[in-house]
Amino acid sequence: MNDNLHQLRCFGCGARISGREARPDFRCAECGDLFEVDYPGWGQRKGHDRPNPGALKWLWRERRCSSEGLDHSGVWRFRELLPILDNFGNAVTLREGNTPLYSLPRAAKALGMDQLFAKHQGMNPTGSFKDTGMTAALSVARERGFQWVACASTGNTSAAMSAYAARAGLRSLVLIPEGKIAWGKLSQAMDYGAVTCQLKTDFDGCVRVLTQIVREAPVYLLNSVNPYRLEGQKTPAFEIAEYFDWTVPDHLIVPGGNLANSSALGKGFRELKELGLVARVPRISVIQAVGANPLVRSIAANHGESMEPVEAHTRASAIRIGNPASWRKAARVVQETGGFCLDVSEAEIAIAKAELGEEGLGCEPASAVTLAGLKKLRAQKAVGGGESVVLVLTGHTLKDADYTIDFHRGTLLRAEEARGYEAPIEGLRRDAISVEATPEAVLAAVKGIA
């Protein structure tokens, strides 16, 4: 199964092209929609030619103990399910994936649930889930001989892309909205040697500019319209299934921004089922911020038939996206798996993030929408107490330390945003205190608080 016979299939009109025929903007020449990587050979393999699920499961687990670099990657150890390279020797890896899956005992108790987990994708080499997609797509860029790669980003994609480009010896161009991305992410792009351009526009404006650039210059586009990104980003689905010994949890909850990650995880579970590795797929729900909720609106208005872009506003800067590229794919995943799509307020995000902090798990504000969304779904009784649920935490807490500090200092939210949530916010805030440099003063301060 590891021969590179993939095709790109248009998600809109079904047109098929070879990988090398893709246009630089990865849009279908027939209908303008996005492509998905497809492996037509899989469906044709019958009888003895069919992959042996037991052997694959054994091999993938065994590779974790191998001394081979590629096997240490939580993406490439599953390489039989992403044969996108002519030669796996071209893979550029920083040992991404193999991220931890934590139980959330406090949140589970508060929500009356038995089995609640967090898959922490912030524990990747550059601190976000983007690494799993970047190792895949950047390896394709290298194999195809590109010298330059580029992305528009709310920060994490640019951090991941510039790191992997540096590893591969490629040059990278980053377009970010000026003043609108977290410092942690901007500092990474600088450190990894990207040409970082801050544009006086939002993320959606950066995408528009970059789309024109790649049509004119020999630059390989690494935004998530690039279908190879999703091949890497589907692999956490394999890890989750493996963790549960190839049964799957009932429900996966994912933040929604440009909407590629939910699509990728849905594809991962769908392929596992098609290949007979799991018996069913989990529900997949997508949670957006109230101020950046075009998919929520689209599903409510017309079941995801069309989508109206919005002007995006949220402090969860990673998902401040008003015109998400992969909305059609995400809508299909939500609908096909019986998932939900809903939005959460700024106060709900801040509280959920602090609650995860109380479990010893830091994450980005964009990741905390998952817990905030689950709390709503539990309140609506859409999720039962006996269901097993996995929250996908997408980014590391240190990406946006300013957000966390502002929350604990009480300067994050405006009074009208916090209205109705004052008590939980006060209960969760832990501001640093100024104390005289004597043991007595410190002990008195501890007594005062404890």
Which residues sit at the interface with ligand F0G, rule CB under 6 A? Answer: 128, 130, 153-157, 224, 255-261, 318-319, 364, 366-367, 394-395
Structure tokens at 164: 């992997």
* C-alpha 54, offset from chain centre: 29
Is 239 in contact with 390 (CB distance < 8 Å)? no
Q: How far is the CB of 147 from ligand F0G (least distance, A)?
A: 22
Residue 267 CB, shortest distance to ligand F0G, in Å, is 12
Element containing residue 80 per DSSP (H, E):
none
Residue with smaller CB distance to ligand F0G, 73 or 262: 262
Burial class (CB in 10 A: 0-12, 13-18, 19+), 82: buried
Q: How far is the CB of 304 from ligand F0G (least distance, A)?
A: 15
Kindly report the number of other CB atoms within 10 A of residue 424's CB atom: 16
Closer to ligand F0G by Cβ: residue 117 or 327: 327
Query: Quick one: 249 or 322, whose CB is closer to ligand F0G?
Result: 322
Distance CA 39, CA 36 (A): 10
Residue 234's nearest CA partner among 135, 160, 89 is: 135
Least separation, in Å, of the C-beta of 398 and ligand F0G?
Answer: 12
Q: Which C-beta is closer to ligand F0G: that of 157 or that of 162?
A: 157
Specify whether the CB–CB gap between 400 and 154 falls below 8 A: no
Return the closest-CA partner of residue 122 out of 103, 152, 96, 95. 96
Report, in Å, the least distance between residue 313 CB and ligand F0G: 16
- Residues 239-274, buried b or exposed e (16+ Cβ, 10 A)? bbbbbbeeebbbbbbbbbbbbbbbbbbbbbbbbbee
Q: Which is nearer to ligand F0G, 204 or 239 (CB)?
A: 204
Smallest separation, CB 394 to ligand F0G (Å):
3
Q: Which is nearer to ligand F0G, 35 or 60 (CB)?
A: 35
| CB-nearer residue toward ligand F0G: 77 or 130 | 130
Smallest gap from Cβ 388 to ligand F0G, in A, equals 22
CB of 5 to ligand F0G, least distance (A): 27
CB 371 within 8 A of CB 438: no
Which burial class, exposed, middle or buried, applies to 439 when counting CB atoms under 10 A from its CB (0-12, 13-18, 19+)?
A: exposed
Tokens of 407: 């929350």
Q: Closer to ligand F0G at the Cβ: 128 or 293? A: 128
Query: What is the rounded end-to-end Cα distance, in angstroms, of the chain?
Result: 60
At CB < 8 A and 24+ separation, what contacts does 303-308 make?
A: 303/331, 303/335, 304/328, 304/331, 304/332, 304/334, 304/335, 307/331
When the beta carbons of 83 and 227 are compared against ligand F0G, the nearer one is 227
